[in-house]
């Protein structure tokens, strides 16, 4: 694998990552590697704001539609797949561009996850039993006490990631946030990944975009999409795919736990909270190159940063 620098266009939801990536694809022979834990699922198109067929025709996209919603996909799998794709894309004489907002995936790619312990069924069963008794918000509070940095990045009901963070602490005596900060083992064969962060100077701009986009998703058929997924009969509301923002709230609506207006408001709020957590992750990356995504001309500014990375 070459040691040249790879541009990574990162940012919270609705920050304009897709628009900037596709604009660059019209200038250079690019292949896009998605860094998004929701885009991996087949059949989940509307609620994930998955690039359209027309958009994907502008440049090859990778790590999109690779598993069914009943399956799981880990950060370690992402790292292995992304490194392999970078080598293949460069071998074709094209430019790999890493684009997305799942920061755990990005950290896995750039720092590695070799020091994290493997899943422990006994510890997970113990944590599941405690969560069944006390609830995941209480487990989130427990995580906040031992690893506030990781807890700040997770929603109180993000059972999968809360469980993993607590499991890591129980097995190693170290916090997940501390382990992720460990210096990466020297890998001379790996390229240098350069983070370009789309961050808003005014977060209310993103909040407005998020509200508008969620309403557009509902109009485009998000409820019908979730109904179709549920119709397969093999999905549950606790699976990682159905814990994705938007899908979780629509599932509650279809179960008649909440009304339409509440579902809509909860979906918007959950997306804003996701945005906040993504920004928390981003701001922990000290060497990132920042582009203000809340101002006019943000796309051109992002293109200039990508170009600078590729030409350096």
**139-167 tens-digit pLDDT:** 999 999 999 999 998 889 888 889 999 99
Would you say 231 is a known binding-site residue?
no
pTM higher than 0.85, yes or no?
no
End-of-domain residue from the set 139, 159, 181:
181
Q: What are 252-273's pLDDT values in tens digits?
A: 999 999 999 999 999 999 999 9
Q: Residue 170: which of 125, 138, 105 has the closest Cα?
A: 125
Same-domain status, 73 and 127: no
Would you say 48 is a known binding-site residue?
no
Instruction: Name the 3-class secondary structure at 290.
Output: strand
Q: What is the DSSP string of 40-99?
A: TBTT--TTTTPPPHHHHHSS-EESSS-B-TTS---HHHHHHHHHHHHHHHHHTT-EEEEE
User: Does the pLDDT value for residue 34 go beyond 70?
Assistant: yes
Which of 122-131, 164-173, 176-185, 241-250 is the least confident region?
176-185
Residue 67: phi and psi, rounded to 5, are -140, 160
**pLDDT value at position 177?**
87
pLDDT band for 312, please (50, 70, 90 cuts). Answer: confident
Q: Residue 69: which of 38, 48, 102 has the closest Cα?
A: 38
Same-domain status, 93 and 143: no
* Beta bridge pairs of residue 198: 291
Mean pLDDT of the chain: 92
Q: By residue range, what is the domain housing residue 86?
A: 5-113+185-311
DSSP conformation class of 31: E
Tokens 């660059």 sit at which residue? 24
Would you say 191 is a known binding-site residue?
no
Same-domain status, 177 and 193: no
Would you say 91 is a known binding-site residue?
no
Counting the structural domains of the chain, the total is: 2
Same-domain status, 204 and 152: no
Would you say 297 is a known binding-site residue?
no
pLDDT band for 186, please (50, 70, 90 cuts). Answer: very low
Query: CA-to-CA distance for 293 and 295, rounded, in angstroms?
Result: 6
User: Does the pLDDT value for residue 1 go beyond 50?
Assistant: no
Please give the residue that has the higher pLDDT: either 189 or 303: 303
Would you say 17 is a known binding-site residue?
yes
Would you say 52 is a known binding-site residue?
no
Would you say 15 is a known binding-site residue?
yes
Q: What are 194-239's pLDDT values in tens digits?
A: 999 999 999 999 999 999 999 999 999 999 999 999 998 999 998 9
Helices (H), the chain: 17-25, 53-57, 75-91, 103-111, 121-134, 136-146, 148-152, 159-172, 176-180, 203-220, 222-230, 247-254, 260-282, 298-311
User: Does the pLDDT value for residue 40 go beyond 90?
Assistant: yes
Cβ(43)–Cβ(70) below 8 Å: no
Which of 60-69, 85-94, 186-195, 220-229 is the least confident region?
186-195
Average of per-residue pLDDT across 37-45 = 97
For residue 173, give the CATH number of its domain.
Answer: 1.10.20.140
Query: CA-to-CA distance for 88 and 11, rounded, in angstroms?
Result: 25
Percent share of the chain, pLDDT over 90: 79
């Amino acid at each position: 694998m070459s040691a040249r620098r790879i541009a990574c266009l990162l940012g919270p939801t609705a920050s304009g990552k897709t628009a900037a990536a596709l604009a660059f694809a019209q200038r250079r022979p690019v292949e896009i590697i998605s860094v998004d834990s929701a885009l991996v699922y087949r059949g989940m198109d509307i609620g994930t704001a998955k690039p359209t067929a027309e958009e994907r025709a502008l440049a090859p996209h990778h790590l999109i539609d690779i598993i069914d919603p009943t399956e799981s996909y880990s950060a370690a799998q992402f790292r292995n797949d992304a490194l392999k794709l970078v080598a293949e894309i460069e071998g074709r004489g094209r430019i790999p561009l890493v684009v997305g907002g799942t920061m755990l995936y990005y950290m896995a790619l750039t720092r590695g996850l070799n020091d994290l312990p493997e899943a422990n069924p006994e510890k997970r069963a113990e944590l599941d039993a405690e969560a069944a008794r006390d609830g995941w918000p209480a487990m989130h509070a427990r995580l906040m006490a031992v690893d506030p940095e990781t807890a700040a990045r997770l929603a109180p009901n993000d059972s999968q990631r809360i469980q993993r963070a607590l499991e890591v602490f129980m097995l190693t005596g170290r916090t997940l946030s501390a382990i992720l900060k460990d210096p990466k083992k020297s890998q001379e064969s790996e390229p240098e990944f350069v983070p370009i962060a789309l961050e808003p100077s005014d977060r209310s701009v993103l909040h407005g975009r998020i509200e508008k986009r969620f309403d557009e998703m509902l109009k485009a058929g998000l409820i019908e999409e979730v109904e179709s997924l549920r119709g397969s009969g093999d999905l549950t509301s606790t699976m990682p795919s159905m814990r994705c923002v938007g899908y979780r709230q629509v599932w509650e609506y279809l179960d008649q736990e909440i009304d339409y207006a509440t579902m809509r408001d909860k979906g918007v709020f959950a997306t804003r909270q996701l945005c906040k957590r993504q920004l928390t992750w981003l701001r922990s990356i000290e060497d990132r190159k920042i582009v203000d995504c809340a101002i006019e001309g943000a796309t051109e500014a992002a293109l200039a940063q990508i170009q600078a990375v590729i030409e350096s």
